[in-house]
A and B are shown apart, each in its own frame.
Chain A
Amino acid sequence: MRDRLNHSLRRLPTWVIYLLGALPAPWLFYQGLTGGLGVEPIKALEHEYGKLALQLLVLGLAVTPLRKYVGLNLLKFRRALGLLCFFYVCCHLAVWLVLDVQLPGQIWADIVKRPYVTIGMAGFVLLLPLALTSNNRSIRWLGRSWRKLHRAVYAAGLLGALHYVILVKGFQFEPVIYLALIVGLLLLRLPFDRLSAFLRPLRQRA
């Protein structure tokens, strides 16, 4: 079953992921224009784009653990997931800048004064070099440092989730779920095998 799934995934071209992943952007915009997002479409569109970015980030972070613990190989699609995530971060940011805040003077004030905006912006800035180097030439050119650089996505993920948690009023569950998922997926990257190998002699002695 798993092998068959891996086999069919190998045959799935990545452009399908790009296409399916990008489609919600114009679709949601159209919904916003025509009343499908309710009577306050600006905030709704901003939130939908932001949530899609977080969902794609979670998927991207799940690729390695899925391969390691489940044997499901989605490696081929990781770049697409990452770039789509960045695309939705850009959409989210554009809606905030152009449709929501509107006043250029207010934008910088918000970035400096409002922690949730500062944190969100920091996440965006971290993702920027990752998006720019997500091509084969950069991977070759950067060699080993490419992998190091791209670990910045861990921090970006945490910042993105935190951005959502501190943005809402009162204690709400949905943003906490994203934070928990991202923290969980990062924890799964800890070298448990090495850790338990290290702990084994200690345990035997005790």
Chain B
Amino acid sequence: GLGLSALAGGAQAEQALEPNSWEDVTTYCNFYEFGTGKGDPAANAHQMTTTPWSVKIDGLVDRPGDYDFQEILSEMTLEERIYRFRCVEAWSMVVPWTGFELADLLAMAGVQSNAKYVAFETLYRPDEMPGTAYRVLDWPYREGLRLDEAMHPLTLMATGIFGKDLPNQNGAPLRLVVPWKYGFKSIKSIVRITLTDQEPPTSWNMSNAREYGFYSNVNPEVSHPRWSQATERRIGGGLFAKRQPTEMFNGYGDEVASLYSGMDLAKSF
């Protein structure tokens, strides 16, 4: 709703966010199903068929089933949210997303009271995804959130950027956006959402648990074992772009810090 949209912008209202360019957002992507180079997704993702598209919602829900993407859209209210996006590789962007709150989608399926986590899966279609020929990760790509994180009003299901439909390389037709977590949590091209009572396995954590925790909240004080997370570089600043300090929870601490009260964020990283 509009009230929540105000909440989303609230903390940053004073320092109005200047979005990156369309070129920045659509040519510099991590979508390993299309290759590990930053330009590979833009070059290869056109091979992915996104119509028709359906999302299987299953597990601990009242109304499990395959939900057609167009049907979902007809039920949801789209709004624009301008979020900072911080990659675990220490670069960042500002992206104007279009989408709806994940909480609204989950309400559509009816979350049962014993559900504690939400698991997500990306499309895995090897003949349309040249990057999956290599086992860079254990496909399909998987991510997950704790239920309270999933229900948080900042957590968005994006269907577009810059007021246009999501380009394939950015996770068409439907992707998650969790702005206070490292970018890899914001899983792309979602085909399955499962409500469970156990912490679901997630791709980067399965690949290297020491480097990528389940939570992966943006945290300048907890460094990645191979690089510092204290600073980041905004994409698009050219060859002499300066680093800037990374903010706790990517600047969304006022909204989300309470989700983690009492937790040791260096341990549950």
Contact = CB atoms under 8 A, between A and B. Distances in A.
Interaction A to B: yes
Contacts of A102: 242-243
Contact of A39 (B134, B225, B235): B235
A76 interface: no
A91 B28 CA distance: 24
A166 B211 CA distance: 13
B164 interface: no
A170 B39 contact: no
Interface string A142-182: 00000000000000000000000011111111000000000
B239 A41 contact: yes
Contacts of A32: 239
Interface in B61-103: 89, 91
Interface in B209-252: 223, 225-228, 230-231, 233, 235-236, 238-243
A114 B239 contact: no
Contacts of B231: 103, 106
Contact of B226 (A109, A116, A172): A116
Given A38-B27, A40-B38, A170 B235 contact: no
Given A167-B226, A172-B36, A39 B27 contact: yes
A94 interface: no
Given A39-B24, A110-B228, A171-B136, A103 B243 contact: yes
B32 A170 contact: yes
B8 to A, nearest CB: 25
Contacts of B233: 40, 42
Contacts of A58: none
B54 to A, nearest CB: 29
A99 B27 CA distance: 21
B227 A114 contact: yes
Nearest to A44: B38
Interface string A24-68: 000001001100001111110100000000000000000000000
A2 to B, nearest CB: 37
Interface in A102-145: 102-103, 106, 109-110, 113-116
A188 B52 CA distance: 54
A99 B208 CA distance: 29
Contacts of B136: 170-172
Interface string B15-32: 000000101100110001
B228 A38 contact: no
A199 B36 CA distance: 45
A42 B27 contact: no
B267 interface: no
Nearest to B228: A106
Contacts of A113: 223
Contacts of B39: 38
A166 B208 CA distance: 12
A115 B211 CA distance: 14
B137 interface: yes
A42 B91 CA distance: 11
Given A103-B231, A114-B226, A169-B89, A42 B135 contact: no
Given A40-B91, A40-B235, 15 more contacts: A32-B239, A38-B39, A39-B24, A39-B27, A39-B236, A45-B239, A102-B242, A106-B231, A110-B228, A113-B223, A168-B36, A170-B207, A170-B208, A171-B135, A172-B36
